[in-house]
């Protein structure tokens, strides 16, 4: 039977590549983000392959999240796969120089937003005794690096939530796992450095970073394992990367 995936942060980077990969493999899509022009373009492109519905909401707004899920058209209302991907870093400062608005954004989007979407979708999965949730964490959820403080805290929270979901949903038939990437070249650093393109590009200079397609390919692998196989927690880095701070740059 054709499955339906709900992907947050589908307008760019890892989420967009995952949407394309899923469409090529016949998975119907509910694509979420705030940039309507990009949602429209994706619907136009991927709608040639599968059924696509788009949702425009800010993941920080819990009422908007719940309403978007509640009002899904019938043909998209059964969510088989949830990709909790929307998120970003905002700023990169020492804790003493950190901007509290950046801290709010990272905790509200990466942690609370992920929880709001999960809260809106998990009950139907439990009721049906099936479903698969992939939480997009980060190597920043496995270690802390200089000036990473609150972003790392948000991704450590995703790591804990991923474990907590798997524990609490054990026995319900719902699979839960995380994919934790290292350095992937997306709009991530443009957002982190607030549009400073030189600074953003510099992050990926001198080595071959991961492409969002690499992560999409892995996510598709994870969600296509047989039902008795759950990939619980997966870390993937570029070959040139050994840790958040050790990258072989030439």
Q: What three-state secondary structure class fits 165? A: helix
Q: What's the rounded Cα separation, in Å, for the pair 28 and 49? A: 9
Residues within window 181-210 making contact with ligand 8X3, judged by CB under 6 A? 182-183
- Name which of 113 and 148 has its Cβ closer to ligand 8X3: 148
Residues within window 13-52 making contact with ligand NDP, judged by CB under 6 A? 13-15, 33-35
Q: What's the rounded Cα separation, in Å, for the pair 196 and 228? A: 46
Q: What's the rounded Cα separation, in Å, for the pair 122 and 229? A: 20
Q: What three-state secondary structure class fits 31? A: strand
Q: In the bound complex, which residue of the shown chain has the CB atom lying closest to ligand 8X3?
A: 138
Binding residues for ligand NDP, how many (CB under 6 A)?
29
Binding-site member from 18, 28, 110, 139 for ligand 8X3 (CB under 6 A) = 139
Compute CA distances 89 → 63, 188, 235, whole Å: 24, 7, 18
- The answer to whether 204 is a known catalytic residue is no
Closest CA to 233 of 172, 156, 171: 156
User: Residue 162 interacts with ligand 8X3 (CB under 6 A)?
Assistant: no
Q: What three-state secondary structure class fits 214? A: helix
- Name which of 131 and 181 has its Cβ closer to ligand NDP: 181
Residues within window 108-137 making contact with ligand NDP, judged by CB under 6 A? 109-110, 136
Please give the residue ranges that form the binding site for ligand NDP (CB under 6 A).
9-15, 33-35, 58-60, 85-88, 109-110, 136, 138, 181, 183-184, 186-188, 191, 212
**Which positions are catalytic?**
151
């Amino acid at each position: 039977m054709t499955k339906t995936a709900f992907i947050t942060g589908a307008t760019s980077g890892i989420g967009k590549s995952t949407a394309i990969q899923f469409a090529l493999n016949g998975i119907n899509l509910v694509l979420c983000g705030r940039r309507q022009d990009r949602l429209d373009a994706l619907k136009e492109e991927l709608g040639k392959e599968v059924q696509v519905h788009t949702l425009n909401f800010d993941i920080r707004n819990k009422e908007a999240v719940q309403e978007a899920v509640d009002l899904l058209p019938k043909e998209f209302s059964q969510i088989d796969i949830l990709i909790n991907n929307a998120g970003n870093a905002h700023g990169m400062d020492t804790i003493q120089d950190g901007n509290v608005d950046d801290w709010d954004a990272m905790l509200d989007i990466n942690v609370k937003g992920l929880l709001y979407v999960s809260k809106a979708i998990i009950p139907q999965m439990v009721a049906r005794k099936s479903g698969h949730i992939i939480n997009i964490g980060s190597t920043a959820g496995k270690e802390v690096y200089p000036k990473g403080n609150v972003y790392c805290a948000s991704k450590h929270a995703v790591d804990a939530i991923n474990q907590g979901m798997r524990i609490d949903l054990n026995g319900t038939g719902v699979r839960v796992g995380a994919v934790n990437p290292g350095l992937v070249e997306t709009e991530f650093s443009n957002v982190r450095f607030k549009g400073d393109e030189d600074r953003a590009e510099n992050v990926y200079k001198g080595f071959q970073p991961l492409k969002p397609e690499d992560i999409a390919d892995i996510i598709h692998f994870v969600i296509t394992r047989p039902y008795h196989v759950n990939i619980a927690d997966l870390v993937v880095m570029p070959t040139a990367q050994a840790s958040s701070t050790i990258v072989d740059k030439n």
